[in-house]
Amino acid sequence: MIDWIHFPTHTPAIVAPPTDEGATDVRRWLWIIAGLVFLMVVVGGATRLTESGLSITEWKPVTGVIPPLTEEQWSAAFEDYKKIPQYRELFPDMELARFKVIYAWEWSHRLLGRLIGAAFVLPLAWFWLRGRLSRRLKPKLLGILALGTLQGAVGWWMVSSGLVKRVEVAQERLAIHLLLAALIFSACLWVAGGLGPNARIVVARGRRRLASFALLLLVLVFVQLGAGALVAGLRAGYIYNSWPLMDDAFIPPHEELARLSPWWANLVDNVTAVQFDHRILAYVLLALSLLHLIDTGVAAGGRAARGAGVLLGHLLAQAGLGVAVLLLVVPLWAALAHQALAMGVLAVATLHARRLVAARGPES
């Protein structure tokens, strides 16, 4: 018996289960990601409004992080831009100095996308390897990562639509690009809302009804975001610059609303129909959110009713700002504020729905 021989033993490291403190750290990280996505949406709006989105005519996910640094490189990039219809038809008198400005907007937008990717992937790997993520949380975070990866490809798919036969990107692709960003933003807030110490609200009665109504409002906010992107993509805000009438009618003539065939083409290609749809959706959202506030105040009160009130307040402010954008004929500052506040409305709608979905009754 050779009990004097001691073989080395290695005890595997024990990874502690996720804790409330760890969940709070993950929640803060997701809030930061949501903030970065919010910033990217605003920069993307500025890129669109300044006609900067087609200034970079190539998609280089890695090497594209470095902008032109020499006059020779700037001249080459400008020559590439001169080959697309937007330059020839809209800006044939553009000089290199102006090109550098629009290039900076698009480059900043793409750089921010890369930074968001790094800010998501690196902490995700750290939390994962340290055992800070629960089994239920991991697939949710991987889903957000998949959406972010898809967003990069959708962004180039959108840009490519304006490089050959058009002077701008296709408005339906612009809407998809914005909606995907909004989905990532909302998903981060939704997941973060379920992490860390967070007192659940109490709903005396009608929990399912209130939660379902809040989810309906959240879906309609997404629909309205898509409608707004179509308005921006078609430059539909530069027509019918009056309110509440569109010229002399609340509802434009049928021949204007349905002038394209097939009928569904009017939903994405008809400037009159697109602006009218955006207006009507705003009225519907306001009416339903008011009903939801009344219902929530009667059935729940407390934090639930305050959340419904905050949502209605944001929608009223957004509607007022939208009217100002129209009456002022789309100044840059107002249009950017309108897009930023739209993301604020989405944030409030997301968190309000999240709280009601997780609400408990007085017997819980």
Predicted pLDDT at 4? 40
| Per-residue pLDDT tens digits for 48-86 | 999 999 999 998 888 889 999 999 999 999 999 999 999
Q: Is the pLDDT of residue 14 over 90?
A: no
Predicted pLDDT at 3? 42
Among 13-27, 33-47, 190-204, the range with the most confident prediction by mean pLDDT is 33-47
Q: CA–CA separation, 105 vs 45, rounded Å?
A: 10
Question: pTM for this one?
Answer: 0.91
C-beta of residue 43 within 8 angstroms of C-beta of residue 112: yes
Q: Is the pLDDT of residue 164 over 60?
A: yes
Predicted pLDDT at 7? 38
Helices (H), the chain: 20-49, 71-82, 85-89, 96-129, 137-160, 171-193, 207-233, 254-257, 266-269, 271-299, 302-327, 332-357
Handedness of CA 203, 207, 210, 212 (dihedral sign): positive
Neighbouring-strand partners of residue 342: none
Predicted pLDDT at 290? 98
Neighbouring-strand partners of residue 246: 249
C-beta of residue 311 within 8 angstroms of C-beta of residue 345: yes
Q: How confident is the model at residue 206 (pLDDT cuts 50, 70, 90)?
A: confident
| Per-residue pLDDT tens digits for 92-122 | 999 999 999 999 999 999 999 999 999 999 9
C-beta of residue 300 within 8 angstroms of C-beta of residue 280: no
Q: Is the pLDDT of residue 8 over 80?
A: no
Predicted pLDDT at 362? 61
Greater confidence (202 vs 193) lies with 193
Half-sphere exposure of 88 (CA within 13 A, CB side): 11
Q: Is the pLDDT of residue 245 over 80?
A: yes
> Mean pLDDT of all residues in the chain?
90
Q: CA–CA separation, 170 vs 254, rounded Å?
A: 25
| Separation in Å, CA 321 to CA 228, 317, 331 | 13, 6, 12
Which residue has tokens 């860390």?
196
Q: Is the pLDDT of residue 325 over 60?
A: yes
Comparing C-alpha atoms, which of 234, 261, 88 is closest to residue 170?
234
Predicted pLDDT at 358? 86
Comparing C-alpha atoms, which of 172, 146, 179 is closest to residue 157?
172
Q: Is the pLDDT of residue 26 over 70?
A: yes
Q: How confident is the model at residue 238 (pLDDT cuts 50, 70, 90)?
A: very high
C-beta of residue 173 within 8 angstroms of C-beta of residue 158: yes
Q: How confident is the model at residue 21 (pLDDT cuts 50, 70, 90)?
A: low
Q: Is the pLDDT of residue 344 over 80?
A: yes
Q: Is the pLDDT of residue 195 over 60?
A: yes
The three-class DSSP label of residue 296 is helix
Taking residues 239-262, what's their average pLDDT?
92
Predicted pLDDT at 32? 97
